[in-house]
Amino acid sequence: MIERILVVGAGTMGSGIAQAIAEGGRQALLADAIPGAAEKAKGRIAVSLDKAIAKGKITPDVKEAVLGRITALGDFKEIAAGTVVDAAVDLVIEAITENAAVKKELFSDLDKVLGPQAIFASNTSALSVTELARATSRPERFIGMHFFNPAPIMKLVEIIRGADTAEGTFEAVRVLAEQLGKTPVTVNEAPGFVVNRLLVPMINEAVYALMEGVASAEDIDTAMKLGAGHPMGPLALADMIGLDVCLAIMEALDAEFGDPKYRPCPLLRKIVRAGRFGRKSGRGFFDYHQ
């Protein structure tokens, strides 16, 4: 039974995953490479719980209980040194930058300090689970656990089997997802899994349409909301996902398939180079400064 979970990466996804874990009654340890980032993420979780109280969805007692199950770790180096995280961690969920080399280095470091029972899961959007698993000595205890944004609300978790994932690992993670109130779908490893294979090329096409002057950003989004019944337009959704994350997913699809239909739109590259990452940086296709 998975009880104590270490979430590494306290950005958009890591903080949401830690909240979902704590709301599901499990203990979440939250860590980040940037000192103080986990504590700040816990502050953001408190703000979102305050909003839920204001809407009458939860009581202040529930908020305190949820926050009490989240431990924000300080300096990330403490983990690598083995002084904070010990053999009691049952599962690690990695939610750091979408970069294979950076993720592999982290998994290799964690492999040395965590007990042999710990399962390693990556929240990668499109990278190869099999390849990431090779950075550890436990590829049979390695799996993809792909949450969606915002993680406390979105029901889906794609559970991705790598080439070496053991049945027991898969089953433990599937049961946990259900216990957290999620609906798991099983995916055999493939670039972009299911959702991002379909969704991100659509977003990329919306960026091409914008670049070619087919319509304004507002009108592209209105067209897809009212014409295709999507709850959000593709460009607003891209801003929510993070434009750097969208670009990384297109690059992974492009590299894996080698098919020009997955070529990242040059406008997407340009905006990311300009540091416009969407909501998290205050500006993307739309402006989020008040």
Ligand X SMILES: NC(=O)c1ccc[n+]([C@@H]2O[C@H](COP(=O)([O-])OP(=O)(O)OC[C@H]3O[C@@H](n4cnc5c(N)ncnc54)[C@H](O)[C@@H]3O)[C@@H](O)[C@H]2O)c1
To the query of whether residue 196 is one of the catalytic residues in this protein, the response is yes
Integer Cα distance of 38 and 29 in angstroms: 9
Q: Binder to ligand X among 34, 211, 232, 274 (CB under 6 A)?
A: 34
Q: Decide: helix, strand or coil at residue 142.
A: strand
Integer Cα distance of 74 and 36 in angstroms: 6
Q: Is 95 in the site for ligand X (CB under 6 A)?
A: yes
To the query of whether residue 137 is one of the catalytic residues in this protein, the response is no
- Give min distance, CB of 102 to ligand X, in A: 5
For residue 263, give the amino acid letter.
Answer: R
Distance (Å) of CA 215 to CA 219, 263, 270: 6, 21, 19
Binding region for ligand X (CB under 6 A) out of 117-125, 205-213, 226-234, 250-258: 117-125
* Interface mask toward ligand X for 143-162; x: CB under 6 A: ---xxxx-------------
Residue nearer to ligand X on the CB measure, 56 or 108: 108
Q: Is 37 in the site for ligand X (CB under 6 A)?
A: yes
CB 89 within 8 A of CB 114: yes
Instruction: Transcribe 47-93 into DSSP letters.
Output: HHHHHHHHTTSS-HHHHHHHHHTEEE-S-THHHHTTSS--TT--EEE
Binding region for ligand X (CB under 6 A) out of 11-19, 61-69, 158-166, 219-227: 11-19
To the query of whether residue 230 is one of the catalytic residues in this protein, the response is no
Integer Cα distance of 271 and 214 in angstroms: 18
CA-based nearest residue to 144, from 164, 154, 155: 164
Rounded to 5 degrees, what angle do the CA atoms 112, 114, 115 make? Answer: 110
Q: Binder to ligand X among 12, 71, 136, 165 (CB under 6 A)?
A: 12
Q: Binder to ligand X among 5, 6, 7, 8 (CB under 6 A)?
A: 8
* Interface mask toward ligand X for 38-77; x: CB under 6 A: --------------------------------------x-
Catalytic hit among 23, 94, 98, 158: 158
Q: Binder to ligand X among 102, 153, 175, 190 (CB under 6 A)?
A: 102
Q: Is 111 in the site for ligand X (CB under 6 A)?
A: no
Q: Name the token pair of 272.
A: 């990311």
Q: Is 221 in the site for ligand X (CB under 6 A)?
A: no
Binding region for ligand X (CB under 6 A) out of 9-17, 18-26, 226-234, 256-264: 9-17
Q: Is 136 in the site for ligand X (CB under 6 A)?
A: no
Residue nearer to ligand X on the CB measure, 36 or 60: 36
- Residues 120-146 as b or e (16 or more Cβ within 10 Å = b): bbbbbbbbbbbebbbbbebbebbbbbb
To the query of whether residue 125 is one of the catalytic residues in this protein, the response is yes
| 227 contact partners, CB below 8 Å, separation of at least 6 | none
Binding region for ligand X (CB under 6 A) out of 27-35, 197-205, 215-223, 264-272: 27-35
Quick count: other Cβ atoms within 10 Å of Cβ 274?
A: 11
DSSP 8-class letter at 127: S
What residues line the site for ligand X (CB under 6 A)?
A: 8-14, 32-34, 37, 76, 95-98, 102, 106, 123-125, 146-149, 241-242, 245, 280
Q: Which active-site residues does the annotation give? A: 125, 146, 158, 196
